Amino acid sequence: MTPAIEDFLRANAERFEADLCELLRIPSISADPAYQGDVRRAAEWVAGRLKALGLSVEVIPTSGHPLVYGESPRQEGVPTVLVYGHYDVQPVVPLELWVSPPFEPTRRNGNLYARGATDDKGQMLTHVFGAEAWIATVGRLPVNLKFVIEGEEEIGSSGLHAYLAAHPDRLACDCVVISDGSQFGPGQPAITYGLRGIACFELQLTGPSRDLHSGTFGGSVSNPVNALTRMLAALIDERGKIRLPGFYDDVVPLTAKEREQFASLPFDEKHYLAQIGLSEPFGEEGYTTLERRWARPTFDINGIWGGYQGEGAKTVLPAQAGAKFSFRLVPNQDPNKVAAALESMLRQNCPPGISMKLISHHGSPGVLVSLDSPYIAAAARAISQAFGRPPVFTREGGSIPIVTAFHEVLHADALLIGWGQDDDNTHSPNEKFSLADFHRGIRASAQLWEELAAVSPGNRVASAD
């Protein structure tokens, strides 16, 4: 990165913060129709910033909120990088818990407090400003850069999923850069190279035509709540091992190198447990807490209902019962294969007199980018220079379906390089973003374009999934 770029970043630091505050003042809550005009205003704001860079920009209508697409002039012989982010934000309730108004950015203790500060307006803009530094000083970018910034990330990304399926050539790239997450810890940047997938279900059981007296009818007919608890309990043993036939057949095991790397991370298990009010961990035998969270499949009941829930006792044999539950999957597991095995097992365990309905809500495979990817190596070099220390390599236990879609449709490595912190209160009152990390993120982004330019286009190591 040239001295001119470094000077530009220093000279424009205050303006970068002012621009971020301007975007944060727009209440772009995608889930609430009352804010539809504000969501559109945020899209136009982002489009305006991309146009100011000289990019070809389009605000693309969808069935919901619009996509903002920007593309730099095409150059031959350099990689093409797609930057993904979102301009929509979560609702702000409960409003009374905010120390300062959620859409009036406020600086406190080196942080900027506002809804969307870290998720994802602040992180997304680091890449806009990183690109601006090159264009303003060098006159061009060292890579082909595409931006796709959506307004529906917080409500499922349906518009982007549809656009990606219909226009894969327009979004074609060598790698995807995504900053919508966290570092491993304060001052310890990270690159996330793996995400778990997900498969979500709802089970509905129906027994008698109405609630029955448990004394008069109990013991002579099947109780849907009893059946539900037995059927769900059969899916997992007391040690956290999932009993679904064939469930582990396609699981990609952790390598010895990965296990050593996870073990070397500065992870304080006691502190982790204390944060969530627990004293002991639990999970699949033979694995550490980080391995269980990031790289092993799980089964969890998310909600359960049936029978009498009011005050006191009511000796009723319920007519219906139900539960919602999910599996977190790891590469190479297939959500459709899991769904088929689940339906078969549940029907086998469903007792006489009970009818069952299994609803599959949504599913998405996991993603694993090879640590030997040249794009991962380029990102590591850029982050090391910007943050003053090398990143650690982590996986993420959560699922980001659009990342899976990028991986499957575009066949491109995903660089998940978050600048936030775990305590940034994303989706909660008093969301914040460290201003120091905001500026380090801009510098890392500017450096990233140079590092990625050194990678030959199409030079991609096959992912482990």
Cα torsion 98, 100, 104, 109 to 10°: value is -110
Separation of alpha carbons 326 and 360, rounded Å: 10
In this structure, the number of other CB atoms found within 10 A of the CB of residue 288 comes to 17
Q: Which of 153, 154, 258, 396 is catalytic?
A: 153
Asked if 59 and 67 count as a contact pair (C-beta separation under 8 A), the reply is yes
Quick one: tokens of 215? Answer: 């004394």
| CA 464 centroid distance within chain | 19
Task: Find, among 90, 97, 88, 43, the residue nearest to 70 by Cα.
Answer: 43
Cα torsion 346, 348, 354, 357 to 10°: value is 40
SS3 call for 73? coil
Quick one: tokens of 195? Answer: 């995400």
Asked if 81 and 146 count as a contact pair (C-beta separation under 8 A), the reply is yes
Separation of alpha carbons 179 and 416, rounded Å: 6
Task: Find, among 436, 441, 361, 432, the residue nearest to 106 by Cα.
Answer: 432
Quick one: tokens of 302? Answer: 């998310």
The question of whether 88 is a catalytic residue gets the answer: yes
Separation of alpha carbons 28 and 70, rounded Å: 20
User: Which residues does the annotation mark as catalytic?
Assistant: 88, 153
